[in-house]
């Protein structure tokens, strides 16, 4: 595994999700996996539930004081599943799971030394309508941002 802090963060979040018992609030069982990309060819998404933890682009370092820097790192959680239809009975459980994941992420410390949760960034949409409309694929994401302070 890479020693880049964004990769370390993504793996830590995937491990935390995997160690969270289903009784903690997941409405569906899944295995979160660290990945560089979700399934990009939407037509290839199958009926099994996929949850990807993807390192997102870090922001440039910001100098706070003469020697201190603040760096932000992010992870994007992507949920994908091919549904048999676009009926509410099919889509509602996926929207509920995405909401559970977002609530679980908010305020969650990753367990990586020096990294602290900062905020959730809105994706601008609840799910990707085009994928659902064209392929019956539920495809949604949420981004969590963490901060790392460096001295030097």
Tell me what the pLDDT averaged over the chain comes to.
86
Which ranges of 87-143 would DSSP assign to H, the alpha helix? 88-105, 129-135
Q: Higher model confidence: residue 71 or residue 134?
A: 134
What 3-state class would DSSP assign to 3? coil
| Nearest of 39, 70, 71 to residue 54 by alpha carbon | 39
For residue 88, give its domain range.
5-151
pTM: 0.87
CATH of residue 93:
3.30.2000.30
Number of domains in the chain: 1
One DSSP character per residue, 19-80 reads HS-GGGT-SS---EEE-SS----GGG--SS-EEEEEEEPPPPPEE-SSSEEEEEEEEEEEEE
Q: For 12-62, how does the pLDDT look when each residue is reduced to its tens digit (9 = 90+)?
A: 999 999 888 766 678 888 889 999 988 888 888 999 999 999 998 766 656
């Amino acid at each position: 595994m890479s020693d880049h802090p964004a990769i370390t963060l993504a793996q830590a979040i995937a491990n935390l999700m995997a160690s969270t018992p289903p009784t903690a609030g997941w409405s569906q069982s899944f295995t979160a996996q660290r990945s560089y990309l979700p399934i990009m060819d939407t037509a290839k998404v199958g009926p099994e539930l996929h949850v990807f933890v993807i390192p997102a682009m870090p922001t440039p370092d910001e100098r706070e004081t003469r020697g201190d820097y603040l760096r932000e790192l992010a992870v994007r959680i992507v949920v994908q599943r091919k549904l048999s239809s676009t009926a509410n009975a099919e889509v509602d459980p996926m929207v509920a799971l995405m909401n559970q994941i977002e609530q679980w992420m908010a305020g969650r410390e990753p367990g990586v030394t020096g990294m602290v949760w900062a905020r959730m960034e809105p994706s601008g949409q609840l799910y990707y309508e085009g994928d659902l409309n064209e392929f019956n694929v539920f495809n949604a994401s949420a981004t969590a941002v963490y901060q790392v302070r460096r001295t030097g």
